[in-house]
């Protein structure tokens, strides 16, 4: 019995020691993608439901670098804007698109909502994305364009992709007649439309160029003009997208 009573205080000391070791310092050093930051633990946990707060709740779930700093494998350049928002509620006015991606990753809901109200994100999510959602198979057609361009790039500086764009149901049949008259492989023509929304064909062409360039390609476009004697004005429907490789 005496042995047991002697060991009880020791057990409590060990438990207390473990809690002390696992407890984070109120000041935290971070290595975010190679960028170093120092901040308060309370700042990181400001929004309890966020992924960032979860990273530092209870036993830390992050690895440390060689200097003992907690490492987050994300772009460090934009973390300063995340930190500034947590410190002062200041919504960033620079690098909005990139900060928005980071806010989504860290799941900081108040910042996400405020960024979505900014002109840049609002225009992208509510205006452009909603328009493109009304264009059938838009994303699939972008990928098809890129596959065709890459297949034709062997030993070439440039490769071209012919795109057929129709805005209305009435234009679909006319476009098909024009396509049948064109002297080209019909399988290599990428078709966009029709859609029920205000933006024009020119707007869609700009969107195509924007989204292909966002994938790292250098691209331009112009109306595709067929040979003389062609029954339709081919530039009413057909456009040539030019990929430049070097």
CB neighbour class for 193 (10 Å; exposed up to 12, middle 13-18, buried from 19): buried
CB neighbour class for 243 (10 Å; exposed up to 12, middle 13-18, buried from 19): buried
Report pLDDT for 175: 77
Does residue 8 register a pLDDT over 60?
Answer: no
Measured over the CA atoms of residue 93, residue 209, residue 141 and residue 203, the dihedral's sign is positive
Task: List pLDDT tens digits, range 108-128.
Answer: 999 999 999 999 899 888 899
Strand partners, 37: 30
Report pLDDT for 61: 76
Which residue do the tokens 């990181």 mark?
Answer: 44
- Do 14 and 54 touch, CB atoms closer than 8 A? no
Task: List pLDDT tens digits, range 201-240.
Answer: 999 999 999 999 999 999 999 998 765 544 455 457 889 9
* CA–CA gap between residue 148 and residue 143 (Å, rounded): 9
**53 in helix, strand or coil?**
helix
Question: Percentage of residues in the chain with pLDDT exceeding 70?
Answer: 83
Report pLDDT for 170: 83
Question: Percentage of residues in the chain with pLDDT exceeding 90?
Answer: 66
* CA–CA gap between residue 61 and residue 57 (Å, rounded): 8
Mean pLDDT is lowest, of 6-15, 60-69, 76-85, for 6-15
- Do 243 and 159 touch, CB atoms closer than 8 A? yes
Does residue 26 register a pLDDT over 50?
Answer: yes
Kind and range of the H or E element at 111?
Answer: helix 109-116
Strand partners, 35: 32
CA distances (Å), origin 206, targets 58, 70, 211: 49, 43, 9
- pTM over cut 0.85: no
Task: List pLDDT tens digits, range 165-210.
Answer: 999 888 887 777 777 766 555 568 899 999 999 999 999 999 999 9
* CA–CA gap between residue 131 and residue 116 (Å, rounded): 17
Q: Where in the chain is the domain with CATH 3.30.710.10?
A: 27-117
Mean pLDDT of the chain: 85
Does residue 22 register a pLDDT over 90?
Answer: no
Structure tokens at 240: 């040539």
CATH number of 27-117: 3.30.710.10
């Amino acid at each position: 019995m005496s042995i047991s009573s002697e060991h009880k205080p020791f057990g409590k000391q060990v438990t207390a020691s473990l809690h002390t070791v696992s407890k984070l310092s109120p000041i935290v050093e971070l290595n975010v993608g190679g960028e170093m930051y120092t901040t308060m633990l309370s700042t990181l946990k400001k929004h309890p439901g966020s992924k960032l707060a979860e990273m530092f709740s209870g036993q830390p779930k992050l690895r440390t670098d060689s200097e003992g700093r907690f490492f987050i494998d994300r772009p460090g350049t934009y973390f300063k804007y995340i930190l500034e928002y947590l410190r002062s509620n200041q919504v960033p006015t620079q690098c909005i698109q990139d900060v928005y991606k980071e806010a989504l990753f860290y799941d900081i809901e108040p910042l996400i909502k405020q960024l979505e109200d900014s002109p840049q994100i609002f225009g992208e999510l509510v205006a452009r994305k909603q328009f493109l959602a009304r264009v059938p198979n838009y994303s699939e057609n972008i990928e098809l364009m890129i596959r065709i361009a890459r297949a034709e790039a062997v030993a070439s500086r440039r490769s071209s992709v012919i795109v057929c764009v129709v805005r209305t149901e009435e234009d679909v049949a006319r476009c098909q007649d024009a396509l049948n008259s064109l002297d080209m492989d019909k399988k290599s023509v990428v078709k966009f439309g029709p859609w029920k929304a205000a933006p024009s064909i020119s707007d869609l062409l700009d969107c195509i160029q924007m989204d292909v360039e966002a994938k790292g390609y250098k691209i331009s476009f112009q109306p595709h003009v067929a040979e003389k004697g062609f029954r339709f004005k081919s530039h009413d429907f057909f456009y040539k997208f030019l990929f430049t490789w070097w």
